[in-house]
Structure 1
């Protein structure tokens, strides 16, 4: 039999449990897990990796969920002092609330374009290709995050080359039908031109 004292303790415990507030995920803290590849504040010093600062929260979370559910396959990579991994495994390590917090955090940061050499002749040709094949979805020379279609302007040429090759080869299965259609219309020399054009946006 529970006496008055016991009932009082039980009631107090119930109130404490009901009043417990679970802290919301902290995007800045979670982003520390991304730094070894994408750099501090989303600005990477690795040419194979994209700068993700300034990405729209919608694009970021859509991309991470694609990695998480396996519709987009990540390449294996290894950084000094860490085991080999890929974006699929990394995405699975975050829950929905954490991905939302990360997306909001990276969206709040300012994108910084790569300081890299480029061929001005190819960039000039690439601008024409961009206007004909890319501008409708990747506005402002590929720099507008509000397109929810990534930021292409100012990314590393190595990264741009690897991603465009995946699109051409059909390895990026998440690409929209309209992009697949435009990629098929590219001519020889168009991809290098596009890479130098986007790299020239500094």
Structure 2
């Protein structure tokens, strides 16, 4: 009985082997045609402004609204001003601890894309404490020395001026002092007015301006 079962198994194995066609006789699989496509020019042109701007959020806050006193809010800056400041960092005309090392990694075209993005974002003044006595004096100083370029209350600047209203007090204080000692290079008109204010009003006028701008909403 065992011999018969083994014999039947051998026969079935041989029949199965014979039913499989040799490898060279199998029907060849049709090759998948290769389709050549061209990448859209805009994809070849690099990242858009929003993608590039994401690298700034770590210091300047989401969409450029700062959450740290050492860095300014850059949401809502004019495209011209943003681009001019970035190129000043690239040239070394503006003092920085980080920006001077970051800018060489971006092309001028990428900077322009980021400028377009941040100019379209909503600016939100930062809420912080101020000294009302200094605020009153700062308002007078602003109208006399700064309003021409930085607009009413420092919140409606020209294309080539920065937004001062609602910025962090520490940032404003350090930046104004940088201009005072010549670390930052001011354009001729600003330099002249700034020097005049220091001579007539004294160094304490800086703190008055800082409190005034910080108070604006």
Which TM bucket (shorter chain)? 0.7 to 0.9
Task: Indicate yes or no: 2:66 matched with 1:44.
Answer: yes
In the alignment, structure 2 segments of 5+ residues that lack a partner are 1-34
Q: Distance in 1 between matches of 2:94 and 2:212?
A: 26
Q: Distance in 2 between matches of 1:135 and 1:73?
A: 24
Deviations 1:147-199 (A, max 9, x none): 420100000000000000011101112x1111111111122221111111101
Q: Distance in 2 between matches of 1:118 and 1:107?
A: 28
Q: Distance in 1 between matches of 2:80 and 2:159?
A: 10
Match of 2:189 in 1: 178
Q: Distance in 2 between matches of 1:198 and 1:169?
A: 21
The number of residues matched between the two structures is 177
The residue correspondences of 1:76-155 to structure 2 (distance < 5 A) are 86-155=98-167
Give the CA deviation at 1:91: 1.2
* C-alpha spacing 1:101/1:145, structure 2 compared with 1 (3 Å): farther
Give the CA deviation at 1:145: 4.1
Task: Indicate yes or no: 2:75 matched with 1:53.
Answer: yes
Q: Distance in 2 between matches of 1:136 and 1:54?
A: 19
* C-alpha spacing 1:108/1:198, structure 2 compared with 1 (3 Å): same
Q: Distance in 2 between matches of 1:165 and 1:132?
A: 19
In the alignment, structure 1 segments of 5+ residues that lack a partner are 1-11, 76-85
Match of 2:14 in 1: none
Q: Distance in 2 between matches of 1:38 and 1:147?
A: 20
Q: Distance in 1 between matches of 2:196 and 2:122?
A: 33
